[in-house]
């Protein structure tokens, strides 16, 4: 089979690495890709938001499956367009992708189907939202309705912070988009991933991300500074409840409404004292969570993705290596604020030779024979081991062999699991 993978982050490098190992694969193309992905796939010059160009490329190159990594093209309807052209694509349609593209849509689905989630209200004007904050308790959470590259969510500790957050978030949507205000949930966060073929849910595995930039979960939020899988807080009992109370009712509701969900569903959860509650859905793999799922997956990813597209997940099962995986994100100093691109990275070959280690590229670029940083999150140093401790020791051993003075990482990835 010929496969086209869209995206350019560490998530897509992990997907490329796993797809490249598939016995079904003839040729893997990737766009826009990165230097790590280029080791697994032929890079093609395509923009992921140019759906016409993607369609033309697929027809010219006999692409049997398009795998869409990031959310934006899904929310914009790339899968709808490809399907209409008879091209198989992994990921939800635009209407099903509203589970990530609109917080108010997800809240409405959750409420209508008794899915446990935080209490929330949706506002379309600032004075009413401020009035609501005035009457509420803090902490409280303010969310822009649409996609804002992870910057649309503010956890406000005081009312004055909440008011500032409202002004900011209303402005993001040009004062036209709804804003969701929700109750602050207490507990431990975990994420859970499932393949869904419209009807059947195939549970994959759990992971835990580290969103704050500094050790001890301090500092501003980021796209994720590291992850490990599986998450001990996500016990078999929590998994059973998550499937029964959250995932299944959502999948049934979308199917009933004529917008069946197909693809991978990222279930963002707070494990509270009353059980799992839904924080958010994402309609794609997590980044960096994908980087710790792929090394643990024993079965063929391409076979599972095809079954997801074809509606045959009911015949599938999935096996995982009895190992823990961890990934440490190396970022450019300054991230998630301003940072300088272009610094040289050395020592990757040596670091990649540490037992159990695989380094995924996120924001890197080749300049002549040099590898340079080209983004905020730059490398994902990933390791597996029999225990979390073993995996973590291996990952940090590799991190310490990388020569990149302009980079930094958290030194405490996996602390909750230890
Ligand atoms: P989201 O983009 O919805 O995942 O929100 C980003 C982060 O904000 C989450 O990973 C949580 O850490 C935090 N968060 C969002 N909603 C809530 C909530 N209702 N209660 C507590 N924390 C939340
Ligand atoms: N790591 C969080 C996300 O992918 O949304």
Predicted confidence band at 110 (pLDDT cuts at 50, 70, 90)?
very high
Ligand 2, atom 5: closest residue by C-alpha: 286
Pocket of ligand 2 (CB under 6 A): 209, 223-224, 282, 286-287, 289
Are residues 69 and 26 part of one domain? Answer: yes
Which atom, in ligand 1's list, is nearest to the CA of 282?
A: 4
Are residues 328 and 305 part of one domain? Answer: no
Separation of CA 121 and ligand 2 centre (Å): 24
Separation of CA 185 and ligand 1 centre (Å): 8
Helix (H) or strand (E) holding 12: helix 10-20
Are residues 202 and 282 part of one domain? Answer: yes
Query: Cis omega before residue 336 (within 30°)?
Result: yes
Instruction: Express each pLDDT in 247-306 by its tens digit.
Output: 999 999 999 999 999 999 999 999 999 999 999 999 999 999 999 999 999 999 999 999
Ligand 2, atom 3: closest residue by C-alpha: 286
Total count of domains within the chain = 4
CATH number at residue 374: 3.90.600.10
Q: Rounded to 5 degrees, what are φ and ψ at 339?
A: -150, 160
Do the domain assignments include residue 311? yes
pLDDT at 67: 98
Which range marks the domain in which residue 42 is found? 2-93
Mean pLDDT of 328-352: 97
pLDDT at 229: 98
Q: Which residues of 314-326 are buried (b: 16+ CB within 10 A; e: fewer)?
A: eebebeeeebbbb
Q: Give the end of a domain, one of 137, 156, 177.
A: 177
Mean pLDDT of 197-218: 97
For the chain, give percent helix, strand, coil, nearest 5.
Answer: 30, 30, 35
Mean pLDDT of 180-194: 96
CATH number at residue 213: 3.30.470.20
Q: Tokens 């839904």 identify what position?
A: 278
Do the domain assignments include residue 156? yes
Instruction: Express each pLDDT in 113-140 by its tens digit.
Output: 999 999 999 999 999 999 999 999 999 9
Are residues 236 and 260 part of one domain? Answer: yes
Do the domain assignments include residue 117? no
Q: Taking the model in full, what pTM does it have?
A: 0.97
Separation of CA 216 and ligand 1 centre (Å): 17
Are residues 220 and 300 part of one domain? Answer: yes
């Amino acid at each position: 089979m010929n496969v086209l993978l869209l995206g350019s982050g560490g998530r897509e490098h992990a997907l490329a690495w796993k797809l490249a190992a598939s016995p079904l694969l003839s040729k893997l193309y990737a766009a826009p890709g990165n230097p790590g992905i280029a080791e697994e796939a032929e890079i093609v010059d395509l923009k992921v938001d140019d759906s016409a160009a993607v369609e033309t490329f697929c027809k010219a190159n006999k692409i049997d499956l398009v795998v869409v990594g990031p959310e934006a093209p899904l929310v914009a309807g790339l899968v709808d367009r490809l399907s209409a052209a008879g091209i198989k694509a992994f990921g939800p349609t635009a209407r099903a992708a509203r589970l990530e593209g609109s917080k108010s849509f997800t809240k409405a689905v959750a409420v209508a189907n008794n899915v446990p989630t935080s209490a929330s209200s949706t506002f379309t004007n600032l004075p009413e939202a401020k009035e609501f904050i005035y009457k509420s308790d803090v902490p409280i959470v303010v969310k822009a309705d649409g996609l804002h590259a992870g910057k649309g969510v503010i956890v406000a500790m005081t009312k004055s912070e909440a008011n500032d957050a409202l002004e900011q978030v209303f402005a993001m949507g040009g004062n036209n988009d709804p804003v969701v205000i929700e109750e602050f949930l207490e507990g431990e966060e975990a994420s859970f991933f499932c393949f869904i073929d419209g009807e059947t849910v195939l549970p994959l595995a759990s992971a835990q991300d580290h969103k704050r930039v500094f050790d001890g979960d301090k500092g501003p939020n980021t796209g994720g500074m590291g992850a490990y899988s599986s998450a001990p807080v996500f016990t078999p009992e929590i998994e059973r409840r998550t499937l029964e109370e959250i995932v299944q009712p959502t999948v049934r509701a979308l199917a009933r409404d004529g917008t069946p969900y197909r693809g991978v569903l990222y279930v963002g959860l707070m494990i509270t004292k009353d059980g799992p509650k839904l924080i958010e859905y994402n309609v794609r793999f997590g980044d960096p969570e994908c980087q710790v799922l792929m090394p643990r997956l024993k079965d063929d990813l391409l076979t599972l993705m095809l079954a997801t597209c074809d509606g045959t997940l009911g015949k599938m099962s999935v096996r995982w290596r009895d190992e823990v995986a961890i990934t440490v994100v190396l970022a450019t100093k300054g991230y998630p604020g301003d940072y300088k691109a272009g610094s040289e990275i050395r020592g990757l070959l040596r670091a990649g030779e540490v037992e159990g280690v695989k380094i995924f590229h996120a924001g890197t670029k080749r300049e002549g024979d040099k590898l340079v940083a080209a983004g905020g999150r730059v490398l994902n140093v990933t390791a597996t081991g029999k225990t979390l401790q073993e995996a973590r020791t291996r990952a940090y051993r590799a991190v310490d062999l990388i020569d990149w003075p302009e980079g930094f990482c958290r030194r405490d990835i996996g602390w909750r699991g230890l």
